[in-house]
């Protein structure tokens, strides 16, 4: 009986968490998180990753700034996001915010020495609302 109660409580805790939301936006673009959530703007401040067609001694890094505003015209909460090493299998990192967890899924395009310059970055994030106590 105790195991059944433990399993039931675990399922209830998992089901009460809000589902993650995936957002794709261009560098500098503003989007709303969910239907009634805050506004999010992502800005790429630095992208010094090694070009895809070159072998580099250093991997380079990416620095993003996320601005999360509760409503239009209100001051945003700024979240600095950096990746000093993108050689991990899934190349992702998680960063916290009081109300949301942000996870980078991709940042494209990567630099390429034999490619034409492509304007702007496309940022794909997974955003998970934090459960309120």
Query: What is the residue whose two structure tokens read 């991709």?
Result: 106
Does 117 reside within a domain?
Answer: yes
Q: What is the mean pLDDT of the chain?
A: 76
Q: Are the CB atoms for 44 and 111 separated by under 8 Å?
A: no
Has residue 112 been placed in a domain? yes
Query: With contact defined as beta carbons under 8 Å apart, do 49 and 60 qualify?
Result: yes
| Residue 85 placed within a domain | yes
What's the whole-number mean pLDDT along residues 108-122? Answer: 82
Q: What is the pLDDT of residues 88-110, one digit of tens each?
A: 434 344 556 788 888 888 888 88
What is the greatest pairwise CA distance in the chain? 65
Per the model's pLDDT, the better-predicted residue between 5 and 99 turns out to be: 99
Is there a domain that residue 1 lies in?
A: no
Domain that holds residue 49: 20-129
User: Could you give the number of structural domains in the chain?
Assistant: 1
Asked if residue 3 is part of any domain, the answer here is no
Residue 83 lies in a domain: yes
0.75 exceeded by pTM = no
Q: Is residue 9 part of a domain?
A: no
Q: Is residue 56 part of a domain?
A: yes
């Amino acid at each position: 009986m105790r195991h059944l109660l433990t399993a039931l409580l675990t399922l209830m805790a998992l089901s009460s968490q809000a589902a993650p939301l995936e957002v794709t936006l261009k560098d500098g673009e503003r989007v709303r998180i969910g239907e009634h959530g805050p506004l999010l703007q992502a800005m790429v401040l630095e992208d010094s990753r090694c070009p895809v067609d070159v072998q580099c001694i250093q991997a380079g890094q990416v620095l993003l700034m996320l601005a999360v505003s509760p409503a239009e015209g209100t001051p945003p909460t700024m979240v600095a996001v950096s990746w000093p090493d993108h050689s991990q299998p899934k190349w992702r990192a998680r960063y916290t915010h009081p109300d949301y967890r942000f996870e980078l899924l991709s940042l494209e395009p990567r630099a390429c020495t034999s490619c034409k310059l492509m304007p702007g970055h496309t940022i794909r994030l997974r955003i998970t609302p934090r459960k309120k106590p």
